[in-house]
Amino acid sequence: MCGIIGFTGNIPAKDVIIGGLETLEYRGYDSAGVALLCDGEITVRKRTGKVEELKKLCADMDNPATCGIGHTRWATHGGVTDVNAHPHRCGQVVLIHNGIIENYRQLITEYGLADDIISETDTEVVAALIDKFYEGDPVKAIKKAVKVLSGAFGLCIMFQDIPDTIYCIRNVSPLVAATSDRGSVIASDLTALIAYSKDYFVVPEYHLLTLTKDGIDVRDMKGNEVKPQMLSVNWDIASAQKGGYPFFMLKEIYEQPDAIRNTVAPRVMDGMPDFTDDGIDDSVFENIDKVTVIGCGTAMHAGMVGKHLIEAKLRIPVQVEIASEFRYKNPIIDEKTLTIVLSQSGETIDTLEAMKLAKANGSKVISIVNVKGSSIARESDYVLYTHAGPEIAVASTKAYTVQVAAMYLIAARMGVVKKLVSDSETKKFMTKLINTPNIIEETLEGANDIKRVANHIKLSPDAFYIGRGLDYTMSLEASLKLKEISYIHAEAYAAGELKHGTIALITENVPVIAIATQEDVYEKVISNIREVKARGAYVILISMDEKVDDVKICDKHIRIPKLDPEFTAFATAVILQLIAYYTSEAKGLDVDKPRNLAKSVTVE
């Protein structure tokens, strides 16, 4: 949450910073600001609204500065106002921050900072503190301040009297950095670095970085020079651009076939699942007797799909846990529990903390993560990277289906190692998994039909998703997606549970999206559909039927390709994503940046 960028080099900084903020905007869009350092003067401009607003505010700025910092905010402490926007200035110091300083009130009292601050933010307190400690030695002042901060922070700091230099330090909140022939750049996310270099490093926690146009100096808190481990990006700038699509979300929906191919193909050897290149040893699976899956939101829903498969195929119990709940539990897990942690960003703080708790209880952790070198990836015992490329839209789509594919890979390998599934059965399963991108491509061909469905849904304040078994799990994800980008109140219900209360909400024309892809409960779902149809619902049925003409069952039928029940999730997910997408688009909303949300939730 919050996008931050700093640049110092040999080209004008303003365009670098504002361009970077545009690519980072999905991390927060309550306000944006920039600070430029030139000839002993720091100019700050900031304003509420999206980066577009900042751009207008800076249009008349002809500042030759080659050093600057910028921020796009997701508000935590203090309302969405100009004064609360970053950068914050206090005396000689101007800084930007991502994270939360938990003891900021205490610091105000302890260091007598009340008169120095004008905003309601925790961040400004850090600026005031560093300025208080500053007596000409920036490193000394920053170290002294950081020692008394508690909480999460990624900080980029400039001093008015130190030309062309940015200081950075972090705890928990992500920061990545790179150097190029144009200068040194630091940001909260790779998408802002890729225009400058494909080689980067993750800033180590509690290390102080000094960025100048000639390079980046990294030192630990004792002042020892540290050589950070370099990583390379395996996608290019085009992946972080819309490429002709009206929104990133639509682009990312269409990228799913390739994302799954890139995730699955490298893990198949002679038709069998293989984690040799990931360094995941078979011993991880050998002695486990249960699985705990941890994630938030969509990532957690992907884990639920995995649970269905593992329990049905392997008969191993799987508990899916909401990370923010799990982290404050006394969990029933031990060294015989395998913990699987799912996170696109690899930075979700609740997931990270929940994972640490699982490890502390003796469980081995495999993380399924999309962002290389992210905190969750680094701190887990093993990591299975998904190769979805950058996901920019706030609403997760391709990251979800690749997470499901990764869960399927784990289930397949676990079945082999524990000798629960024969090699020939596993090979058949893998052939189907390898084929899922083709299924998704086929499903995407029906996208136009879905636009018509969305035109009905957009008129309603409420919508309901129903299904049984795996389809109920899909309903949960579908209702989250519709809520977050179309602002329509949506509920997911186990189809058989509806009549125990919620059916009271079904009235004339209320959209009910019924998912009936599971053979064993198909007839049961159809009966539940008849119950809502009898009460006037407008039913959209998603099933494998060639044709459904019966108006007593549905008003609209969306067909998914004929598939084995355990593989329907991929096709169904795409349909449900498109329903949410087209509904939001039909309402004229900013699909990629839904209100109140941000990508990468680094606060509790």
Catalytic residue IDs: 2, 599
Contact (CB, 8 A) for 401 and 440: yes
Cβ of residue 303: shortest distance to ligand F6R, in angstroms? 10
- Note whether 389 binds ligand F6R by CB under 6 A: no
Among 345, 363, 386, 543, binds ligand F6R (CB under 6 A): 345
Of 58 and 394, the one with the shorter C-beta distance to ligand F6R is 394
Dihedral pair phi/psi, residue 374, rounded to 5°? -70, 170
Of 168 and 302, the one with the shorter C-beta distance to ligand F6R is 302
Among 296, 355, 478, 576, binds ligand F6R (CB under 6 A): 296
- Note whether 386 binds ligand F6R by CB under 6 A: no
Of 396 and 475, the one with the shorter C-beta distance to ligand F6R is 396
Helix (H, G, I), strand (E, B) or coil at 514: strand
Stretch that binds ligand F6R, among 98-106, 119-127, 264-272, 344-352 (CB under 6 A): 344-352
- Note whether 528 binds ligand F6R by CB under 6 A: no
Q: What sign for the dihedral angle of Cα 296, 300, 302, 306?
A: positive
Residue 116's contacts (CB-CB under 8 Å, 6 or more residues apart) are 90, 91, 128, 131, 132
Among 351, 543, 568, 572, binds ligand F6R (CB under 6 A): 351
Of 15 and 604, the one with the shorter C-beta distance to ligand F6R is 604
On the question of a cis peptide bond just before residue 317, with omega within 30 degrees of 0, the verdict is no
Identify the helix (H) or strand (E) that includes residue 477: helix 470-486
Q: Which residues ranging from 395 to 424 are in contact with ligand F6R (CB under 6 A)? A: 395-396
- Note whether 436 binds ligand F6R by CB under 6 A: no
Give the count of beta carbons closer than 10 Å to the beta carbon of residue 326: 24
Give the DSSP letter of residue 204: P
Among 348, 479, 528, 568, binds ligand F6R (CB under 6 A): 348
How far is 205 from 155, CA to CA, in rounded Å? 11
Q: 559 pairs with which residues across the strands?
A: 543
Of 165 and 298, the one with the shorter C-beta distance to ligand F6R is 298
Of 298 and 572, the one with the shorter C-beta distance to ligand F6R is 298
How far is 368 from 348, CA to CA, in rounded Å? 13
Among 48, 337, 339, 344, binds ligand F6R (CB under 6 A): 344
Contact (CB, 8 A) for 263 and 405: yes
How far is 199 from 391, CA to CA, in rounded Å? 19
Binding residues with ligand F6R: total (CB under 6 A)? 15
Stretch that binds ligand F6R, among 99-107, 236-244, 337-345, 433-441 (CB under 6 A): 337-345
Cβ of residue 467: shortest distance to ligand F6R, in angstroms? 19
User: Judging by DSSP bridges, how do beta strands 556-559 and 538-543 pair with one another?
Assistant: parallel
Stretch that binds ligand F6R, among 255-263, 295-303, 515-523, 572-580 (CB under 6 A): 295-303
Cβ of residue 374: shortest distance to ligand F6R, in angstroms? 9
Helix (H, G, I), strand (E, B) or coil at 493: strand
Contact (CB, 8 A) for 438 and 336: no
Locate all alpha helices (DSSP H) within 502-549, ordered by sequence: 522-533
Give the DSSP letter of residue 468: S
Cβ of residue 343: shortest distance to ligand F6R, in angstroms? 3
User: Judging by DSSP bridges, how do beta strands 183-187 and 176-180 pair with one another?
Assistant: antiparallel
- Note whether 578 binds ligand F6R by CB under 6 A: no
Residues binding ligand F6R (CB under 6 A): 296-299, 343-345, 348, 351, 395-396, 480, 484, 600-601
